[in-house]
Amino acid sequence: MVSAGLEIRQGAAGPVVCPTGDWTLASFPLPLDNLESRLLARVPAGSSWDLSALGRLDSLGALLLWRAWGRRWPEGLALEAEHRRSLERVAALPQAPVAAAPRRPFEGVESLGTFALKFGHNLLGLVALLGQLVLDLLFLIRHPRHLPLVEYSATLYKSGAKALPVTALVGFLIGVVMSYLSALQLKTFGADIFIINILGVSIIRELGPVLVAVLVAGRSGSAMTAQIGVMRVTEEIDALATMGISRTQRLVLPKIAALTTALPLLVVWTSAAGILGGMVSAHLQLGLSYGFFLDQLPKVVPLANLWIGLAKGWIFGLLISLVACHFGLHVKPNTESLSARTTAAVVTAITAVILADALIAIATRDIGMPK
């Protein structure tokens, strides 16, 4: 291995640049930072090139020479066929991407308009899907033998029964955390007993339904979108249409019915786990007995809060399943669209749940609150 070098001699037509040695990664002098400027700084403009004394040439050496020539072949050039092939491979490589164009004056308005159009398109799609489901329900009421009971029970098991462990764990831990943090503040003012009010209202009315909805949106909602999307990619939905089977009756309606059934039950389950966690933490932190906690809970938390939590669970289940099925049905027949639609379905469902929770909280602000 001979170190890379560069000689410049005076020829009849002007200066001639003669690379010498091996122009490979292992033979270039260290450090490699600014290698191109250090090796080629002495090259005069308009020089001829003689590569007859050049030894081995790898891709790095060929790239340095090609850049030194301004990415075009010099007029005076002497080289061997082997070196020419290496340089031709480098010359065939695409150039670096062009810098991004400057921002247009109304680009922000254009982006806002694009977002509004996409939002309107998805909203119309959700309304159309909901209307189709109403028509399917009317058809099934008249023809009960076509009820998709198997699909309904399978989705109910996957979205409801299999979600019991994780929702109970999250609810219990949230109850412990809320009780622990609230106890630190209540002990300061000697208002330990009010921890029952805080835990009861916050968990049963707000945290229970929202926590379950977020968990179900990420767990079951994404699974619904992915399942329907894969059927779109593999053309199974087209096969159903060919056989005269309604995709909404067999795919969408059972999922929406199962999730709207399972979510209120999961809300009760998670709220109970949260109350249990808060009760255990209150006993350890404040010394409140379990019997006293359970006796005071229905007195300080009106039953209307439970009905509000159940209503939220039903609405959240409807929203999550509608969004998941809508995005699943609009998956294009490629894997990139499948991943993008699944992500969009989860984000949209969680956003819709939070917006719906805010609207319900405003509408029911005077219901179920202790006087």
3-state secondary structure of 278: helix
- Beta-carbon contacts of residue 20 (< 8 Å; ≥ 6 apart): 2, 4, 5, 6, 7, 53, 54, 55
pLDDT of residue 170: 93
Position 34 pLDDT exceeds 80: no
3-state secondary structure of 114: helix
CB atoms within 10 A of CB 208: 31
Q: What is the DSSP secondary structure assignment for residue 367, as one 8-state letter?
A: S
pLDDT tens, position by position, 187-206: 777 777 888 888 888 898 88
| Nearest residue to 312 (alpha-carbon basis) of 359, 349, 278 | 359
pLDDT of residue 41: 67
Position 105 pLDDT exceeds 80: no
pLDDT tens, position by position, 50-59: 777 788 888 7
- The model's confidence at residue 209, banded by pLDDT at 50, 70 and 90, is very high
Q: How far apart are CA 370 and CA 364, in angstroms?
A: 13
Give the length of the chain: 371
* 39: its two tokens: 């090796």
CA distances from 320 to 151, 172, 262, 315, 354 (A): 18, 23, 12, 9, 11
Instruction: Give kind and range of the element (H or E) at residue 10.
Output: strand 5-11
Residue ranges and CATH numbers for the domains of the chain are 5-91 (3.30.750.24), 129-363 (no CATH)
Q: 144, 249 in Cβ contact below 8 A?
A: no
Question: Region 24-37: what's the mean pLDDT?
Answer: 69
* 93: its two tokens: 């490589």
Phi, psi of 318 (to 5 degrees): -65, -45
Q: What is the DSSP secondary structure assignment for residue 28, as one 8-state letter?
A: S
pLDDT of residue 15: 77
Position 162 pLDDT exceeds 70: yes
Residue type, 141: I
pLDDT of residue 50: 78
Place of tokens 């019915």: 257
pLDDT of residue 370: 63
pLDDT of residue 167: 92
Q: 58, 25 in Cβ contact below 8 A?
A: yes
Q: How far apart are CA 216 and CA 212, in angstroms?
A: 6
Mean pLDDT of the chain: 84
Question: Region 284-297: what's the mean pLDDT?
Answer: 85
Phi, psi of 49 (to 5 degrees): -125, 135
pTM score: 0.68
pLDDT of residue 86: 81
Which residue(s) pair with 54 in the sheet? 21
